[in-house]
Homo-oligomer: A and B are copies of this chain.
């Protein structure tokens, strides 16, 4: 069922150059030798994708929704081997991966529902005004798919943000063929899902180029994919350096294209005095639970805590320390990630501006603390350490806390904990947090990203390379659409969503108001 193949449309293909899958816990080689896709494979996948693009883009909402749902069924039909393979390759737990599989399938189903509903087309009609001087033409606008999309699988979500994850699902929903560059940390998992996707394409009688899968380890593979002139947009979740490299490549093309890179975020958590007074111990314990969830390998991991110095803050730290000491170190996704985490924590240990206040080496995480002045003075303290590491900034007073917030880079999330007496401070700080992130939350924890219509998993640079979008939730489709206006086009030549008879029965905005016909 897993043989290490490359999937170019309906063709499985092999190369001589291969790489090994690894058991995340032991480092042992597992699975077959996996083929390294090369430039020729990229070219063939992109050619098929380009050939498939017009027909796939023109598919009715029902046709595309059925494909998304079928893809979900095929993923479920893989059975337990998917969970077992992902557990071995990622070191993540069974419950986490079973939950992630359900999330992946529900994500495909939600996109199907959103595609059927039709608002995403943003069909807008300004009828002709022949009596006006000068007369106004008939003007109709609709969103079209942007073309083939390159998707880079993420290491930390082998299912929900990889081969059939949020980027791929949203691109499909928008009507774009997808070429996936599989993540080398979970090649067996990737191949299982890729084969399921290829089956869904076949079963829905879609052109084979709608989906291709390129496993591989080298940067050259990703570069040739982003550089292919038939690729029209890129979805990526990973490191800041990786994301910025793709942005640069995309900008250097003869035809520059958008890159949606979700890169780095330390997800500040602000603990206001009233919250600490009422709940210091519970907050400390809940903070550590969020910090250490999945070995801290979430983009939304709380890597920064801001609070005003007070005895209640010491209670928070003591409670966090107590829970952290009892927590055990967890297997990380790859040896490279574990090494980078150890290095990041060691750098903080060696930095005189911070001191470790909780989480001894060997425990499940590390909490450092520093002052506001030192945090603002040293940009390195604001850089993400991927894993269960966080920095507490003790601010002398509210003004200093505001200065730290003002100095923050763009973030995926920002969290505010409030209690009695915090209303004025909360009202002052909440808009400042919203200015700097894609999602602001109160009295909760940033880990756990719901897939809904209102979700934003995005934010100002460097959280992402494009703050106008999200990589989670139905709005993610908008990344892969562009508007086209049709002026005085005879009805039979209009695309169905703009035709007078509205054959797809989608909502349309006519002279400014949404109508159902």
- Indicate whether A284 reaches chain B with its CB closer than 8 angstroms: no
Which of A39-47, A70-78, A137-145, A382-390 contacts its partner?
Answer: A137-145
Contacts of A507 in B (CB 8 A): 514
Interface pair B137/A450, CB less than 8 Å apart? yes
Which of A158-166, A206-214, A325-333, A435-443 makes up part of the contact surface? A435-443
Is A483 close to B, CB under 8 A? yes
Whether A483 contacts B438 by the Cβ 8 Å rule is yes
Q: Which residues of B contact A481 (CB under 8 A)?
A: 468
A441 to B512, CA, bound (A): 21
Q: Are A139 and B454 in contact (CB under 8 A)?
A: yes
Question: For the complex, is A488 an interface residue (Cβ under 8 Å from B)?
Answer: yes
Across the interface, which residues of B come within 8 angstroms of A490, CB to CB? 418, 426, 442
The segment out of A27-35, A251-259, A336-344 that lies at the interface is: A251-259
Q: How large is the interface on A (under 10, 10 to 19, 20 to 34, 35 or more residues)?
A: 35 or more
Residue of B nearest to A125 (CB): B454
Determine the residue in chain B with the shortest Cβ distance to A468.
Answer: B482
Question: Which residues in B have their C-beta under 8 angstroms from that of A119?
Answer: 509, 514
Query: How distant is A491 from chain B, measured CB to nearest CB, in Å?
Result: 11
Instruction: Considering the complex, give the chain B residue whose CB is closest to the CB of A470.
Output: B483
Q: Which of B434, B461, B466, B469 contacts A484 (CB 8 A)?
A: B434
Pick the residue among B136, B418, B487, B493 that contacts A439 (CB under 8 A).
B487
A248 to B256, CA, bound (A): 11
Chain B residues lying within 8 Å of A469, measured Cβ to Cβ, are: 483
Q: Which B residues are CB-close (under 8 A) to A441?
A: 137, 486-489
Query: Using Cβ atoms and an 8 Å threshold, which residues of chain B touch A10?
Result: none
Q: Which chain B residues border A430 with CB–CB below 8 Å?
A: 489, 493
Find chain B residues with CB under 8 A from A454 CB: 124-126, 139-141, 485
Interface string of A463-503 (1 = CB under 8 A from B): 00111111000010010011111111110110100000000
Given contacts A247-B256, A442-B489, A431 and B58 within 8 Å (CB-CB): yes
Identify the closest chain B residue to A253 (Cβ).
Answer: B461
Given contacts A126-B454, A430-B493, contact A255 B461 (CB under 8 A): yes
Given A117-B512, A136-B450 in contact, is the A455-B485 Cβ separation under 8 Å? Answer: yes
Distance of A511 Cα from B119 Cα, bound (Å): 13
Instruction: Assess A509 versus B453: contact at CB under 8 Å? Given A461-B255, A483-B468.
Output: yes
Rounded to whole angstroms, the CA-CA distance of A469 and B146 in the bound complex is 12
1/0 per residue A423-453: CB within 8 Å of B?
1001100110011011111111000001011
A410 within 8 A of B: yes
A483 vs chain B, min Cβ distance (A) = 5
Question: In the complex, what's the smallest C-beta–C-beta distance from A213 to chain B, in angstroms?
Answer: 26
Asked if A54 is an interface residue, CB under 8 A from chain B, the answer is yes
Instruction: List residues of A (379-436) whose CB comes within 8 Å of B's CBs.
Output: 409-410, 418, 423, 426-427, 430-431, 434-435
Contact pick for A126, options B146, B435, B453, CB 8 Å: B453
Q: A144-B434, A475-B141, A485-B454 are in contact. Are A442 and B514 (CB under 8 A)?
A: no
- Cross-chain contact B124 with A453 (CB below 8 angstroms): yes
**What's the minimum C-beta distance from A413 to chain B, rounded to whole angstroms?**
8
Chain A 148-177 near chain B by CB (<8 Å), digits 1 or 0: 000000000000000000000000000000
A458 at the interface (CB under 8 A from B): yes
Whether A484 touches B456, Cβ cut-off 8 Å, given contacts A146-B467, A258-B468, A493-B426, is yes
Question: Apart from A54-B435, A444-B488, what are 9 other A-B pairs with CB-CB below 8 Å?
Answer: A126-B453, A137-B444, A139-B452, A255-B409, A438-B483, A439-B487, A440-B485, A455-B485, A469-B483
A interface with B by C-beta (< 8 Å): 54, 58, 113-114, 117, 119, 124-126, 136-137, 139-141, 144, 146, 247-248, 251, 255-256, 258, 409-410, 418, 423, 426-427, 430-431, 434-435, 437-444, 450, 452-456, 458, 460-462, 465-470, 475, 478, 481-490, 492-493, 495, 507, 509, 511-512, 514
Q: Which 4 A-B pairs have the closest CB atoms?
A: A441-B487, A456-B485, A141-B454, A139-B454
